Amino acid sequence: MSNSILPSTLSQPLKNSLERTKIRWWRLILPLAVQVGLVVAIPGQAFYTRMTGKTVVLQTQPVDPYDWLRGYSQTLSYDISRWETLQSLPGWDRLSATPNQLSREFYLILEQPQAETQGELPKPWKAISVSASLPDNLPSNQIALRGRVNQGQLVYGLETYYMPEDQRQKINQEINLAQQQENQPFVVEIKVDDRGRSVPIKLCINEQCYQF
């Protein structure tokens, strides 16, 4: 009888040990799985926006030609990044009376310009209103671009352009030339999806475009 009881007595601690081991493994695996999911989701979201988004053109000029922490890049600022641009638009007063009280997330409504002629630099879209929430049923010539307030700055996730290795020198020369000459603007072409999320597609300077 004692022989039949002994294995049963020893099996319970063994089961408890296995259960504790499983729990410890799950505590390690679950956070790792969440991190991996986030890493995969970010490029997946950008891919979706690139594939399904509507093409929009933004007026821009460079601010900082070199970002030492991130490698060779251009830091870009847009007309729609200026407080005075948004403050003059319909819907601004419904968001906030002062910039410091503005909702951290907003949607900027952009309208497509008249079609440019062959060979012209793509024309930038015009900001026409601001909304605190994603608008429904916009006309086909309008799009809602999601933005946010970050430490007092208006940002859209489109502020940094990483230069292709083989095009750095040429792009810098084009940018410097455009800065030295009056009425030589350059623009950024982006894609905006149905949730207002955006990704940069190309940089156009003096009728020459460079893919992102």
The pLDDT value given to residue 100: 58
* Beta carbons within 10 angstroms of residue 70's beta carbon: 10
Q: What is the pTM of this model?
A: 0.72
Residue 198 pLDDT exceeds 80: yes
Predicted confidence at residue 152, as pLDDT, reads: 82
Structure confidence at residue 40 as a pLDDT band (50, 70, 90): very low
Q: Which residues contact 55 (CB under 8 A, 6 or more apart)?
A: 189, 190, 191, 201
To 5 degrees, how large is the angle CA 121–CA 127–CA 88?
130
Joined together, the tokens standing for residue 23 give 């729990």
Q: Delimit the domains of the chain by residue range.
A: 1-52, 53-211
> Residue 89 phi/psi, 5° resolution?
-95, 150
Q: What are phi and psi of 112, to 5 degrees?
A: -70, 135
Angle at 109 between CA 85 and CA 116, to 5 degrees: 85
187 closest CA partner among 154, 158, 150: 158
- Encoded tokens for 136: 């429904």
What local confidence, expressed as pLDDT, does residue 31 receive?
Answer: 56
Mean pLDDT of 168-175: 77
Mean pLDDT taken over the chain: 76
Residue found under tokens 């679950």 = 30
Between 34-48, 65-79, 112-126, 159-173, the lowest mean confidence (pLDDT) is in 34-48
Query: What whole-number distance in Å separates Cα of residue 163 and Cα of residue 205?
Result: 14
Q: Please, are residues 143 and 184 in contact by the beta-carbon 8 Å criterion? A: no
86-119: per-residue pLDDT in tens? 988 999 888 765 555 555 799 999 999 987 655 5
Q: What is the pLDDT of residues 111-169, one digit of tens each?
A: 999 876 555 678 899 999 999 899 988 999 999 999 998 888 899 999 887 777 777 77
**Which residues does 49 contact at the CB level (< 8 Å), separation at least 6?**
191, 192, 193, 197, 198, 199
Q: Which residues pair with 110 in a beta bridge?
A: 127, 143
Q: Cβ distance 133 to 108 under 8 Å?
A: no
